[in-house]
Each structure stands twice: as C-alpha cells, then as structure tokens.
Amino acid sequence: MDMIDKFMHAVLSITFFVFFLHYRLFTSLVATARSLFKENVSGKVVLITGASSGIGEHVAYEYARRGACLAVVARREHRLRQVAAVCEIIGSPEAVYIVGDVAKMEDCQQFVEATVSYFGHCKQPIRRLDFGGFNFLLVFDVVVTVDHLVTNAGVTPEINFWGSVYSTYYAYGHLKKSKGKIIVIASSTGWLFAPRLSFYSASKAAVISFYETLRYEFGGDIGITIVTPGLIKTEMTDGKFLSKEARLQLDPEMRDVEISVMPLESACECGKAIVAGSCRGDNYLTVPHWYEWTKLWKVFCPGIMDRWIGFLLMPCNSHNEVPTKKLTHFVNGLTQFLSS
C-alpha cells in the first residue's frame, strides 16, 4: 500500500506540472470566448440578498445599468429604499425592495414568492393590434421566473451558510424554469484562513463546498458562479466583527490587526467584476484577481503560508503586540510625518 501511495503521488504531481500551464492557457481562451458571447440580462429578473450596502448594493447597481429588473432584499428598509430608487434612475426598468432576514426560512420563501408575484403583475401580457380598422386585444401567457439569484447576505456564520441555502431552496424551481444562474458571494477566507476568524472562515468554506456539490447535482439546469472576494471596502473592512457573544460590534482595533495596510478593492469595482463574471458564465471568480495566487501558495507551500500568517496575525495578550498592528501604527505615523 505504501508503494501504491508513493506511485500515485508521483504520477499526480508530474501530471499537474505538465498540464498546468496548458490548462491556464485554455481557461484564458475560454474566458475570452465567453466575453464575446456574454448573457444579456436586460429585462431579466434578478434577486439580490444583502443589497442594502457593500458588495450587494453595487452588484445591484451594475445589474441596473445593464437593464435588469431587480428585487433587492435586506433587513434595513431605509437603505433598501434608497438602493431601489438609485437602480431605477441608472437604468433598471423596475426595482422593488423587500425587507427580509435570510436567516429565517419563512422570510426566504416570502421574498422569493413576492419577487415572482410582483414582476408577474408588472409584465404586460396584453397587446393591442389594429387590423382593417378593427382593434383586437391579444392576451399572452407570461411566465415570470427568477433569472439570477445573488446570495450575498452574510456576516455571522449562520447567515453566511443557511441564508444562502434557504434562498437557493425556495428559488430553485424558478431558476430551473429559466435556466438561470446562482451567483454565490463566498470569501477568500474559505481557503486563506486567519486567526480570530475561525467560524467566519469555516462558514465560507462550507458555502463553497455546498455550491460546488450543487453544481454537479443541478447539471446544466442552473449555472453557478462562486465568487471569492478578498479585502473589499465594505462595512466589514471598516471594523465590523463578531464579539465573543456572537454579536456584531464595531472594533477599530481588530480592524487594524486583521486588515492592517493591505490594499482594499472598492465595492463598486467588485460589483462590476461579479456581474461581468456571471454574464460570462464563470464557474469561479476571485476579486481582486491576484488573490488567486494565494491558492497556489496554500496548496504548494502550506508551511510557508501557515508560518507567514501566524507571524503576522498570531494571537497575543494585546492587539498592540501583533506585527500587523505595529505596521499600521508605523505607516500612519510615517504618513502624518510626510504630510506635515
């Protein structure tokens, strides 16, 4: 058995290195071809959870610019109302906001049904036809479905996983009718683990695994794009973290530890990349793109990655002792010195 294990290890290693470059070239060509024949979402129905701010908000804006009909869902009604209004101003034929909590199954069922019902009434199945001086009213059956589901809502581990699962469960029948797509907003923390984010990282890894499995189970009925954002300028990167009591709280000190001086991609650019990837039919999308290289480091040099992350973010008695915190203080001090 030991010889078989060594043989298989050698064969798979050699095979990977031989075909890796060819595979990357092939995927680049496929991505280029998909860009030429990307989906037109004008007039299609797109349901977005967690659309009151951050990535979800800007995904909604990008779909709106492409002429999609939108249903935006979140818990903050005042923010949703503003997002829906902006969507209609910049190009959406119709945008409706629905207050809902994706952590509750009944809410997920309600906002999916409300989306289909609302756009079913908005569609005009009656056409007037003039023929030989006579007026005829032709009535057509209009089947309204959900064309794209964007499962973006997520902060706590429960919402990260079950919020996506519940939304998908109730939207499945509509997506199957439309041969639609699910755009899953996971996270690069699904493979790029960091101290103090254990439950968050685990929930995002579970989301990735769940939808990778669903891709096989759905076959060609529903497309799935798994998005793994890196550090994006949102409320999370402004300092929202889970306390030990599992409550969201603003923690600037923790923000300086976890993020430090790492560059942040804007939520606007992230939203544009996500919608472009979904229209191309990408299976996977990482934003910013350079985060994909951390996957290779994680696979081929796991010891180096573990030591590097452990050194920068290792748990200490005080946040001020963590190297990333010291680096933040140094850069801030240098910036103030140079600007004075």
What residues are labeled active site?
Answer: 200
- Structure-derived torsion over alpha carbons of residues 109, 111, 117, 118, reported in degrees to the nearest 10: 180
CB-CB contact of 146 with 49 (8 Å)? no
Q: What is the DSSP letter of 190?
A: G
Alpha helices in 49-197 (DSSP H): 54-65, 77-90, 105-122, 157-158, 164-178
What is the residue whose two structure tokens read 């951050």? 54
What is the DSSP secondary-structure string of 213-272? HHHHHHTTSSEEEEEEE-SEESTTTTTEEE-TTS-EEE-HHHHHHHTTT---EEHHHHHH
- Rounded Cα distance, 150 and 168, in Å: 9
CB-CB contact of 86 with 61 (8 Å)? yes
Residue 32, number of CB atoms within 10 A of its CB: 10
Nearest CA to 247 out of 152, 154, 156 is that of 156
- Rounded Cα distance, 177 and 196, in Å: 42
What is the residue whose two structure tokens read 């470059």? 21
Nearest CA to 255 out of 239, 241, 234, 271 is that of 239
| Tokens, residue 279 | 């229209």
| Tokens, residue 72 | 């935006």
Q: What is the DSSP letter of 211?
A: H
Nearest CA to 40 out of 70, 66, 69, 72 is that of 66
What is the residue whose two structure tokens read 């756009």? 119
Report which residue type is found at 56.
Answer: G
